[in-house]
C-alpha cells in the first residue's frame, strides 16, 4: 500500500509537509495549488510554493513532492507546466477538486467538473508540454453539484494521458461533510485504465482498511487525518503487523495513531514547526499558524487542547517562543497547562 499526503491550501505547506514526512510512513506528497491565470510565471513563483524544488523535489526527509497547478486555460497551463518541468519536479498534478468559492468563481478547481471536455484539453495540453519522464496526474472530486458527470471526467483525464488520478469521495456541494462515498471511487477505478488513488474521511487505520476494501485502491491519500494525527501513516502501516513492542497504554493513547506518535514525541515536532514558522512567516501571522495546527491536534490529543487553551489569547511571538521552550523542558501533560508569560 502507498500512502500520499494530500494538498491542503492554507494549511499543508512546506513547513507542515516537512514535519509530517519526518514522522514517517508517507510515500509522497502533492503540494498546495499554484494558481495559473493568464501569465507565464517565473521559476521563483513555483519555488516559493514548493521550496523542495531546490532539493530534488523532496522534503528534508527525502519524500517526493509533486507540485500542483490550478487553472482553466489549457495553453497557459501547458506553458507554465513546461517552465515548471525545467525545475525537475517529481511529477506535475492538476487540480480539479478545490471546493473554495473564490477559486470556483474564477473557473478553477471543482467547478471544471461540469466541463469534462475542458478537463481533457487541459490534461492533454500539459501532457504534451512536459517531457515524458515527468508524470502528469490529476485530483478531482465526484462532481460539482452532483456526480452525474463523474465517469465522464474520469475518462477525460485518463484518455488525455494522465498517469494517476486521485479522487476525493465527495462532490463540491458535499464540502467536507461526512460520509465519504468510497463506492463511487470504486466505480471510477473500474471504469478507467490508470491507477486511482482514494481520498476522503480516512481518520484511522480502520478507516484506511475499509476504504481500501470498498474502493479496491492500493494507494490512499491522507489529508486532515494526518494533520490531526501525525502518526496516522505509521498506524496504517502497522495495522495487521505483529507489534514489535508494547504500545503506551494510557487512556490518552487508546487511539492507534496517537499511540504510534504519543504527545511526548509531538512536542519536539511542534517546537521545530514553530521555529520554521518564525523563520518564514511574517511576525503578525505566526501565532495563527501554530494555533491552526493545535486546533487540529486537540481533537486527538488532550494535551493539545490544554496547549490551545493556554495560547488562545496570546499573539505575541516572543511569548509563544518562551512557552514552546517550557513545554520541551517539562513532562507532559502538566507542561501544556502552564500559562505563557505575558509579553
What's the pLDDT tens digit per position in 270-286?
999 999 999 999 999 99
Contacts of 96 (CB under 8 A, 6+ apart): 109, 110, 112, 113, 119, 138, 139, 140, 141, 153, 157
Nearest Cα to 99, choosing from 115, 113, 110? 110
Q: Are both 2-238 and 263-337 of the same fold?
A: no
Q: How far apart are CA 201 and CA 259, in angstroms?
A: 20
Q: How far apart are the first and last CA of the chain?
A: 48
**CATH number, domain 2-238, options 3.20.20.70, 3.10.450.50, 3.30.450.40, 3.40.640.10:** 3.20.20.70
pLDDT tens string, the chain, 343 residues long: the values are 999 999 999 999 999 999 999 999 999 999 999 999 999 999 999 999 999 999 999 999 999 999 999 999 999 999 999 999 999 999 999 999 999 999 999 999 999 999 999 999 999 999 999 999 999 999 999 999 999 999 999 999 999 999 999 999 999 999 999 999 999 999 999 999 999 999 999 999 999 999 999 999 999 999 999 999 999 999 999 995 755 444 443 334 458 999 999 999 999 999 999 999 999 999 999 999 999 999 999 999 999 999 999 999 999 999 999 999 999 986 644 444 444 444 4
CB atoms within 10 A of CB 99: 19
* Grid cell digits, residue 280: 518564514
Q: DSSP secondary structure string, 260-286? A: HS-HHHHHHHHHHHHHHHHHHS-HHHH
Contacts of 101 (CB under 8 A, 6+ apart): none
- Looking at the annotation, which residues are catalytic? 98
Nearest Cα to 264, choosing from 341, 309, 330? 330
Instruction: Specify whether the CB–CB gap between 216 and 5 falls below 8 A.
Output: no
* Grid cell digits, residue 179: 460520509
pLDDT of residue 254: 56
Assigned CATH class of 263-337: mainly alpha
Q: What is the pLDDT of residues 277-330, one digit of tens each?
A: 999 999 999 999 999 999 999 999 999 999 999 999 999 999 999 999 999 986
pTM over 0.85: yes
Q: What is the DSSP letter of 111?
A: G
Coil, strand, or helix at residue 178?
coil
Coil, strand, or helix at residue 136?
strand
Mean pLDDT for the chain overall: 93
Residue owning grid cell 508494547: 246
Q: DSSP secondary structure string, 2-18? A: EEEEPPBTTTB-HHHHH
pLDDT of residue 329: 83
φ, ψ dihedrals at 77, nearest 5°: -65, -40
Q: How far apart are CA 328 and CA 48, in angstroms?
A: 31
Rounded CA Rg of the chain: 20
* Grid cell digits, residue 69: 497547478
Coil, strand, or helix at residue 220?
strand
* Grid cell digits, residue 297: 491536534
Q: What is the DSSP letter of 30?
A: E
CA 228 to chain centre: 12
Q: What are the domain boundaries of the chain?
A: 2-238, 263-337
Q: How far apart are CA 161 and CA 20, in angstroms?
A: 31
Q: What is the 3-state secondary structure (H, E, C) of 51-96?
A: HHHHHCCECCCCCEEEEEEECCCHHHHHHHHHHHHCCCCCCEEEEE
Amino acid at each position: 500500500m502507498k500512502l500520499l499526503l494530500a494538498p491542503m491550501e492554507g494549511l499543508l505547506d512546506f513547513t507542515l509537509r516537512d514535519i509530517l514526512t519526518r514522522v514517517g510512513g508517507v510515500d509522497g506528497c502533492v503540494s498546495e495549488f499554484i494558481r495559473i491565470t493568464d501569465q507565464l510565471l517565473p521559476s521563483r513563483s513555483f519555488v516559493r510554493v514548493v521550496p523542495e524544488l531546490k532539493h530534488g523535489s523532496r522534503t528534508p526527509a527525502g519524500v517526493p513532492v509533486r507540485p500542483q497547478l490550478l487553472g482553466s486555460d489549457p495553453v497557459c497551463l501547458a506553458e507554465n507546466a513546461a517552465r515548471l518541468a525545467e525545475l525537475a519536479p517529481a511529477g506535475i498534478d492538476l487540480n480539479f477538486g478545490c471546493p473554495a468559492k473564490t477559486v470556483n468563481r474564477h473557473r478553477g478547481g471543482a467547478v471544471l467538473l461540469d466541463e469534462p471536455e475542458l478537463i481533457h484539453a487541459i490534461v492533454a495540453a500539459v501532457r504534451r508540454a512536459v517531457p515524458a519522464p515527468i508524470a502528469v496526474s490529476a485530483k478531482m472530486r465526484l462532481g460539482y453539484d452532483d456526480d452525474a458527470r463523474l465517469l465522464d471526467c474520469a475518462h477525460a483525464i485518463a484518455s488525455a494521458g494522465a498517469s494517476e488520478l486521485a479522487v476525493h469521495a465527495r462532490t463540491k456541494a458535499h464540502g467536507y461533510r461526512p460520509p465519504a462515498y468510497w463506492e463511487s471511487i470504486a466505480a471510477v477505478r473500474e471504469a478507467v485504465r490508470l491507477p486511482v488513488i482514494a481520498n476522503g474521511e480516512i481518520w484511522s487505520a480502520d478507516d484506511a482498511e475499509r476504504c481500501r476494501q470498498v474502493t479496491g485502491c492500493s494507494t490512499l491519500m491522507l489529508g486532515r487525518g494526518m494533520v490531526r494525527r501525525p502518526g496516522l501513516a505509521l498506524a496504517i502501516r502497522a495495522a495487521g503487523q505483529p507489534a514489535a513492542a508494547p504500545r503506551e497504554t494510557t487512556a490518552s493513547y487508546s487511539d492507534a495513531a496517537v499511540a504510534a506518535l504519543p504527545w511526548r514525541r509531538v512536542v519536539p515536532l511542534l517546537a521545530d514547526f514553530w521555529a520554521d514558522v518564525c523563520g518564514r512567516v511574517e511576525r503578525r501571522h505566526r501565532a495563527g499558524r501554530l494555533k491552526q495546527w493545535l486546533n487540529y491536534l486537540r481533537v486527538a490529543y488532550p494535551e493539545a487542547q490544554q496547549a490551545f487553551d493556554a495560547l488562545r489569547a496570546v499573539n505575541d511571538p516572543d511569548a509563544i517562543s518562551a512557552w514552546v521552550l517550557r513545554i520541551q523542558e517539562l513532562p507532559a501533560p502538566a507542561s501544556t497547562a502552564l500559562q505563557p508569560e505575558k509579553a
